[in-house]
Chains A and B, each alone.
Chain A
Amino acid sequence: MEDVLRLLQLSINGAATGCIYGLIALGFVLIYKATEMVNFAQGEIMMLGGFIAYTLVGKFGMNYWLGSGLAVLITAAFGYALDALVLRRVIGQPQFAVVMLTLGLAFIFRAGAGIAWGYDSVAFNTPFTNKLVKFGGDVVLGQDNLSIIFGTVLLCGVLYLFFSRTRLGIAMQASSQNQLAAYYMGIPVRRVFSLIWAISAGVAAVAAILLVPVQMVDVNSGIVGFKAFAAAVLGGFGSIPGALVGGVLVGIVEQMAGYYLPTGFQEVTSNIVLLAVLILRPQGLFGQVIRKRV
């Protein structure tokens, strides 16, 4: 009985962390599907989102919900501007130039956040901080972890409806699948791509806000981005449900490794999972194998 409870506890904690990975991986995948660029600064954008929310809620004393919503909007606007001003100019350069470009941006964001908000960890009060939920007597779970899982599910539902039901969402899908055809259909592809960057930045901000009750925001929070790669690759880079499933799996495996294996293994689990997937099944869990015809 003890073991089962422990396992449940670890799974829930792991799934909560995994949801954060999944949300960041979702950001990667949205951008990759649309523009074939990989945004290595996604973790840093999440960090910026966290700091903006801290400024609005923690410093200006705004209502949690209002401040968080505003923070998501501001971060999304930032993502839009990033694509419109910087990323759009490097279209046509090799894929790796874009990787280096976003790595450079990540350095700038990190230093910029350090200058603007300092190098200390910050946090603010949320409705979920330090509250517990009891299930049937023995099982005690933190509201913070549950709020992450619930928030992720809700966000994914909203995104799903957006992409499948709205005109703009369908336009986005069309531009991801075939840019040229989308142009011919009268879709403003460039603006649509910028909007996808905005959505991806907004999702990162949501992840940051959900993470606040569990982990404080600081300049180095963006490191999470590297773990989210494992999630995205496991799900088969390019599959949206894959990113989330991959994130949750990586989160759970990491928690288990931290508990059952000697110290030091927890840090490298995500990397080992990543390498193993790339070697054994490069297309990931949900990816397709496509061969090129010469």
Chain B
Amino acid sequence: MIAPFKTGYAQDLTLAKGPGSRIAYAVLLAVMAAIPLVLGEFYVGELGGLFIFAIAGVGLMLLTGYTGLVSLGNAAFLGIGAYTNAILLARGVPFLISLPAAGLLTAFFGVLIGVPTLRMSGLYLAIATLAFGSIIGTVLQKWDGLTGGFDGFAVQTPSILGFKIEGAWGVYYAALIVLVLVVWVSLNILRSPLGRAMVAIRDSEISAQSMGINLAVTKSIAFGISAGITGLAGGLYAHYVRHLAPDSFDILLSIQLVTIVFIGGLGSLHGAIFGAAFMRLLPQAIAMVRDDLPFGLGQLPGLEPSLFGLILVLVIMFEPGGINGRWVKLKAYFAAFPLHRKPAARRQKSYAKSERLR
């Protein structure tokens, strides 16, 4: 595989990967900030939703992509964040406090589920988080007094210092700011000792432990950070949908979140954002071509989930690096343009590694 050639330790620590990358990201940010001035309300709203899922994707990426812990219950964190934010707003707490509070409470829940699952790995963890997610989903439905039960919960319009955060634009900018903050914080975590410890745990628990990393503490923190970021995304999601329904935070949403991480490409923050973009844009793309498909294919009711399933299957079988893996290969191809050689991007042969302890 392609790896950047590093000649000093400073290169390991710096955030900017190449000479042009600072400029490139600044331009990207400026374009994103200017988009609502150009595009219509519908597109701005959709992009806002995309950013929210990108935040949730970054949260899950830290856990799954970097720490190697799998969570099939992140929809529960999204739900806890959304309901906390909405309920606090309804009780008159200002938005600037309620949103971080939603993140903090969700982080607390993350540690809560993280601690008992410390002894589990891989498969068991996936199943345990799945069970946790479905318990929280049921609690959201049945606790009428707090969440309004099946009637749902209307979310109030938030305001910062008198400015109302309204409509598609408000959500767009709020989500963009939080996304940039979250990505910046995540990048910094990843180059700190904590981040390095997380990656070490992903690559081998036993060698990480023998290097003096406290597995229990690091894993719990990873769970907490991931849940907290997902909770922030949930708080924004409440404003995006404006009316919370308890059954929207179910297993399917959890699976969608994991799909974002997988299709985007494990182990890269770019991947989380690519994955979210893919996840949000595919339904729109399907809606656009639905009427033009031959044989009445567009009228089939199960088209969307089956396409998601199919793409997930194809990605895992043929491009385990996800969209980001493809992107890296594409960049390498053009960087070495006439001299590109196919074996540079070839997957290493791998064998079944037993996770059973012997």
Instruction: Show the binding face of A for B, using Cβ within 8 Å.
Output: 36, 38, 86, 89-93, 95-97, 99-101, 103-108, 110-112, 114-115, 119, 179, 226, 229-230, 233, 237, 263-264, 267-268, 271-272, 274-275, 278-279, 282, 290-292, 294
Contacts and interface: CB of A to CB of B under 8 A. Distances in A.
B316 A290 contact: no
Interface string B337-358: 0000000000001111111111
B70 A110 contact: no
Contact of B128 (A115, A119, A263, A274): A274
A294 B351 CA distance: 20
Interface in B30-85: 64, 70
B218 interface: no
A36 B126 contact: no
A39 B131 CA distance: 17
B127 A100 contact: no
A267 B142 CA distance: 11
Contacts of A89: 317
Given A100-B258, A278-B116, A290-B357, 8 more contacts: A97-B320, A100-B312, A103-B312, A111-B303, A111-B306, A112-B302, A112-B306, A292-B206
B357 A38 contact: no
B283 interface: no
B302 A115 contact: yes
A226 B251 contact: yes
Contact of B131 (A100, A105, A119, A274): A274
A96 B70 contact: yes
B135 A272 contact: yes
A196 B70 CA distance: 27
Contact of A96 (B126, B128, B317): B126
Nearest to B138: A268
A292 B251 CA distance: 33
B313 A111 contact: no
Given A36-B355, A103-B255, A95 B316 contact: no
B135 A104 contact: no
A48 B102 CA distance: 42
Band of interface residues on B:
35 or more
B185 to A, nearest CB: 25
Contacts, number: 139
B117 interface: yes
A274 B72 CA distance: 14
Where chain A touches its partner, the secondary structure class is helix
Nearest to A103: B255
B223 interface: no
B68 to A, nearest CB: 8
B300 interface: yes
Given A99-B70, A226-B134, A278-B128, A104 B356 contact: no
B323 interface: no
B26 interface: no
Interface of B: 64, 70, 116-117, 119-120, 122-124, 126-128, 130-132, 134-135, 138, 141-142, 206, 210, 251, 255, 258-259, 262, 300-303, 305-306, 308-313, 316-317, 320, 349-358
A83 to B, nearest CB: 13
Counting chain B CB atoms within 10 Å of each CB, which of A99, A106, A110, A290 scores highest? A99
Contacts of A282: 119-120, 124
Contacts of A279: 116-117
A93 B355 CA distance: 12
Contact of A105 (B130, B313, B349): B313
Contact of B138 (A264, A290, A294): A264
A122 to B, nearest CB: 17
B127 A233 contact: yes
A275 B128 contact: yes
A111 B122 contact: no
A229 B357 CA distance: 21
10 contacts: A92-B350, A97-B262, A107-B305, A110-B306, A111-B306, A226-B134, A237-B124, A272-B135, A275-B132, A282-B124
A38 to B, nearest CB: 5
B124 A99 contact: no
B302 A110 contact: yes
Contacts of A268: 134-135, 138
Contacts of B128: 274-275, 278
A100 B138 contact: no
A197 to B, nearest CB: 15
A85 B291 CA distance: 33
A90 B301 contact: no
A72 B223 CA distance: 43
Nearest to A279: B116
A99 B312 contact: no
Given A96-B122, A268-B135, A278-B120, A86 B358 contact: no
Given A86-B317, A104-B316, A110-B302, A271 B131 contact: yes
Contacts of A294: 206, 210
A96 B122 CA distance: 7
4 closest A-B pairs by CB: A107-B309, A111-B302, A111-B306, A92-B350
B356 A36 contact: yes
Contacts of B258: 100, 103
Nearest to B300: A115
Given A36-B352, A92-B352, A278 B127 contact: yes
Counting chain B CB atoms within 10 Å of each CB, which of A97, A103, A279 scores highest? A103
